[in-house]
Chain A
Amino acid sequence: MTILKLALKNLLGAGLRTWLNVFVLSLSFVLIIFTQGLLEGMNKQAEEAMVASEVGGGHFQHPAYDPYDPLSLTDAHGPVPESLAALAAAGHAAPVLVIQGTIYPEGRLFTVRVKGIDPGQTVVNIPTSFLATASAADEIPVLIGSRMAKMTGLKKGNTFTLQWRDAHGTFDARDATVVEVMKTSVQTIDSGQVWVPLARLREMTGFDGQATFVILARDAALPAAGAAGGWVLRGRDDFLSDLRAMVESKSAGSSILYTIFLLLAMLAIFDTQVLAIFHRRREMGTLMALGFTRGKVIGLFTLEGMLNGVLAALVAAAYGVPLLSWIARTGWALPGDMDSYGFAIGERIFPAYGLGLVAGTTALVLLVTTIVSFLPTRKIAKLKPTDALRGRMT
C-alpha cells in the first residue's frame, strides 16, 4: 500500500511528463482495440453476409462439382437426391443448377456462370422473387449483381443475348432481360454470374429435376449419413475458412501499425524510467535509509512505470469508449474500390469490440509496460545506499 501510494504520488507529481506518456500509451490502447475491432467487425460482417446470401447452413454438392474448376460444370449436375428434394419442398433447402454460358451485351462477349434458382426460395438472401416477374414468354428473366452490371454495362430492363449448351451439347441462344440489379456485398454471388429461374434453366438445358448443389437453410436438419445420394456436404466452415485466412493475414499487417505505436509509447516509458533512476538516486538512498530494501525500491520504480499503463487504460477509456462506441454505431466508411478486395463487407464496417479483445489488449499493454518499466530498474539491484545518498550510481 505504501509503495502503491508513493508510486502514484511520484507519477502524478511528475506532471506533464507523465501525462504525455499516458496519452501516447492511451493512443496505443485505442488504436489496438480499434484496428482489431475493425478486423473483427469486418470478419463478422463478411461471414454474416456470406452465410446469409450464399452459404446458408452449407451446401450439398454434386460429387463432380469443383467450384474452382469451370470445366467441371459440364458434368457437375444430376437429379437432386430425394432427401434433399424433400428439404427443398419444405422450404429448408434451395437447389441451384449451374452451367457455363456466354452473354453478348451490346455486342461484347462475357463468359458467365448461369445459375438457376427457385424464385420463391427463402433460404438465402438473394432477391430471387424478381425472377418471377412476368416478361415476354420467349425472354429469359435474369438477375445480376451490381458488380456484374458495372462490368458488362447492363442495367435493369436491358436485353442481351444469352448462349449456352444443352444436355445434348448443342449450343442454343435466346434473349435475356435484366429484371433487377441486386446490390450485394458478396462478390461470389455477383461477379461473372447471371441468375435465372431454376425451372427455366432446367427446361433450357434439358436437365430436368437436376441441380449442381443444394443450399441448406441455416436451421435445416442435415439428412442422415448416406441419404444424400453421394452428394458431398460442404459445411459452413469450409466456405468461411478462406475468408478467415484472409482476415488473419490482414490482421498481421495491421498489427505492424499498432506495434509501432506501442513501441513509441514503450520508448517514452523506458526513457522516463532511465531518467528517473538517474535523477532520483538521492531519493532512492533516502528510501533505503528509511528502511526500504533494494527490492522494494525496484518494486516502487517498476510500479510507477506500470501505473503509466493503468492511467493510460483509464484515459483511453475516457475518450476511447465514446469514440469507439460511436464508430461501432455509425460504422467506418470504406473507399469505393474496397469492393474489389474480395471481402463481403459492404460500404461500411461496423467494428466489433469483444470483452476478450479489450481485456487482452489491456493485459498485453500492462505486461509490456511492466517489463519495459522493470528493465532499467535492474541497475538499482547493485545500488549501494551510501552511493545513492551521495547521488551516485554504484
Chain B
Amino acid sequence: MTDTTLIVTKDLKKIYPMGPHRIEALAGVNLSFDKGEFAGLVGPSGSGKTTLLNIIGSLDSPTEGSAVVMGRRIEALTHKEAARLRSHHIGFIFQTFNLLPVYTVYENVEFALLLLGDPPAERRRKVMAALDWVHLADRAKSKPPQLSGGQSQRVAIARAVVKEPDIVLADEPTANLDAENSHNILQTMERLNRELGTTFIFATHDPKVMQYLRRKITLVDGRVTKDEAVDGRGAAAATAQGAGL
C-alpha cells in the first residue's frame, strides 16, 4: 500500500442468507485502487460488481475480510462514520440517476455541499463550476423531470464531483442512455478524472464504458478472474495486477 492507495480490499467476502441457503456474492476479493484511477468492474449480472462497489462506498459491510477506504476500515464504521465518509470522500453515480425530483438542477448539485456545511458563496461558486464541467449551467433552474436522460446523468455527475471527492463510484452509469449520450458522459467523466485527479470506479457490462477504462477488473461469481490495465480505448495492456493473477 502506497501513499496514493485509496482503497484496499483483503479476502473480502459478502454472503447473503436466502432462506436455508447462503449466496456468496463476493468470495475473497483482493484489490487495491490508487488515486486517479479510471477503473471498471466488469462481468455478468450477479458477478458481485455492485456488491463490491457498495462495500467500497460504505453502503454495505463485508461478511468477512476487510475493506479499507481512505484509511478507514469499512466493517468497523458506525452508521454515522459511514455517512460521514460518503458525504466527504465519495461521490455516487447511479444507473437511474437518482436525482431529488423536487429540487432544481442547481439545488440537486448544491445538496452535496449543504451536507458539508460550505458557506453559501463557496457553494454557489462550486455548483456553477460543476455545472459548467457538465455543460448544464444554462439548465440550473430546471427540474429533473424537464431533463433528458443524458442531461439527468450529467447532473448526477455534477452532484458526485461538486464536492471534489477522492472517489466516484458509478454503477452502470450508461445503462439508461443511448450511445451518443453514453459517450458524452464518459468523456465528461474522463475529463474530470484527468483534470481533478478523481478516482473513478465503474460497475458495468456496457462495452461503451469499457472503451474508456484504463483498468478493467473482471468478476465472475464473486471472484476476480482478470485484472488488467487497458489503454483507455479498448486495447488490453499486458500488465495484470492484484487478485493473485
Inside 8 A of B80's CB, which chain A residues have their CB? 293
What 20 additional pairs, Cβ within 8 angstroms, besides A288-B83, A389-B94? A1-B114, A6-B100, A6-B102, A6-B103, A6-B111, A9-B102, A12-B102, A282-B96, A283-B98, A283-B101, A286-B98, A288-B86, A289-B57, A289-B86, A291-B84, A291-B87, A292-B83, A293-B79, A386-B59, A386-B60
Rounded to whole angstroms, the CA-CA distance of A152 and B138 in the bound complex is: 88
Indicate if B54 sits at the interface (CB-CB under 8 A): yes
Indicate if B92 sits at the interface (CB-CB under 8 A): yes
13 A-B contact pairs sorted by A residue (CB < 8 Å): A9-B103, A13-B102, A282-B96, A283-B101, A288-B59, A289-B57, A290-B115, A290-B159, A291-B115, A292-B83, A293-B80, A296-B83, A385-B59
Number of A interface residues in the complex (CB < 8 A): 24
Indicate if A384 sits at the interface (CB-CB under 8 A): yes
Inside 8 A of B86's CB, which chain A residues have their CB? 288-291
Contact A282 B98 (CB under 8 A): yes
Indicate if B112 sits at the interface (CB-CB under 8 A): yes
Contact flags A169-206 to B (C-beta < 8 A → 1, else 0): 00000000000000000000000000000000000000
Inside 8 A of A389's CB, which chain B residues have their CB? 59, 94, 98
A-B contact count (CB 8 A): 65
Shortest Cβ distance from residue B82 to the other chain A in the assembled complex, whole angstroms? 8
Contact B60 A385 (CB under 8 A): yes
Contact A289 B115 (CB under 8 A): no
Contact flags B90-126 to A (C-beta < 8 A → 1, else 0): 0010101010111100000001101100000000000
Shortest Cβ distance from residue B157 to the other chain A in the assembled complex, whole angstroms? 14
Contact A290 B60 (CB under 8 A): no
Known A288-B59, A291-B83, A386-B54; judge A13-B101 contact (CB<8 A): yes
Rounded to whole angstroms, the CA-CA distance of A202 and B159 in the bound complex is: 97
Inside 8 A of A12's CB, which chain B residues have their CB? 102
Indicate if A2 sits at the interface (CB-CB under 8 A): yes
Rounded to whole angstroms, the CA-CA distance of A64 and B86 in the bound complex is: 86
Listed from nearest, the 3 A-B pairs whose CB atoms lie closest are A291-B87, A13-B102, A286-B98
Known A9-B103, A13-B101; judge A290-B112 contact (CB<8 A): yes
Inside 8 A of A10's CB, which chain B residues have their CB? 102
Known A6-B100, A283-B100, A385-B60; judge A293-B111 contact (CB<8 A): no
Inside 8 A of A285's CB, which chain B residues have their CB? 98
Inside 8 A of B57's CB, which chain A residues have their CB? 289
Indicate if A294 sits at the interface (CB-CB under 8 A): yes
Known A385-B59, A386-B54; judge A290-B87 contact (CB<8 A): yes
Give chain A's interface secondary structure class.
Answer: helix
Interface centre among A13, A293, A295, A384 (most CB of B within 10 A): A293
A290's nearest neighbour on chain B, judged by CB, is B112
A385's nearest neighbour on chain B, judged by CB, is B59
Inside 8 A of A293's CB, which chain B residues have their CB? 79-80, 83
B81's nearest neighbour on chain A, judged by CB, is A293
Rounded to whole angstroms, the CA-CA distance of A384 and B58 in the bound complex is: 11
Contact flags B51-62 to A (C-beta < 8 A → 1, else 0): 000100101100
Shortest Cβ distance from residue A7 to the other chain B in the assembled complex, whole angstroms? 10
Contact A286 B94 (CB under 8 A): yes
Inside 8 A of A294's CB, which chain B residues have their CB? 79
Rounded to whole angstroms, the CA-CA distance of A321 and B13 in the bound complex is: 64
Interface positions, chain A 108-152, Cβ under 8 Å from B, are none
Rounded to whole angstroms, the CA-CA distance of A6 and B60 in the bound complex is: 25
B169's nearest neighbour on chain A, judged by CB, is A289
Rounded to whole angstroms, the CA-CA distance of A285 and B92 in the bound complex is: 11
Interface positions, chain A 264-297, Cβ under 8 Å from B, are 282-283, 285-286, 288-296
Contact B59 A290 (CB under 8 A): no
Inside 8 A of B79's CB, which chain A residues have their CB? 293-295
Rounded to whole angstroms, the CA-CA distance of A291 and B54 in the bound complex is: 14
Contact B115 A2 (CB under 8 A): yes
Rounded to whole angstroms, the CA-CA distance of A282 and B130 in the bound complex is: 24
Shortest Cβ distance from residue A200 to the other chain B in the assembled complex, whole angstroms? 83
Contact A290 B111 (CB under 8 A): yes
A12's nearest neighbour on chain B, judged by CB, is B102
Shortest Cβ distance from residue A295 to the other chain B in the assembled complex, whole angstroms? 8
Contact B114 A2 (CB under 8 A): yes
Rounded to whole angstroms, the CA-CA distance of A155 and B87 in the bound complex is: 87
Inside 8 A of A291's CB, which chain B residues have their CB? 83-84, 86-88, 112, 115
Shortest Cβ distance from residue A275 to the other chain B in the assembled complex, whole angstroms? 16
Shortest Cβ distance from residue B146 to the other chain A in the assembled complex, whole angstroms? 14
Shortest Cβ distance from residue A285 to the other chain B in the assembled complex, whole angstroms? 7
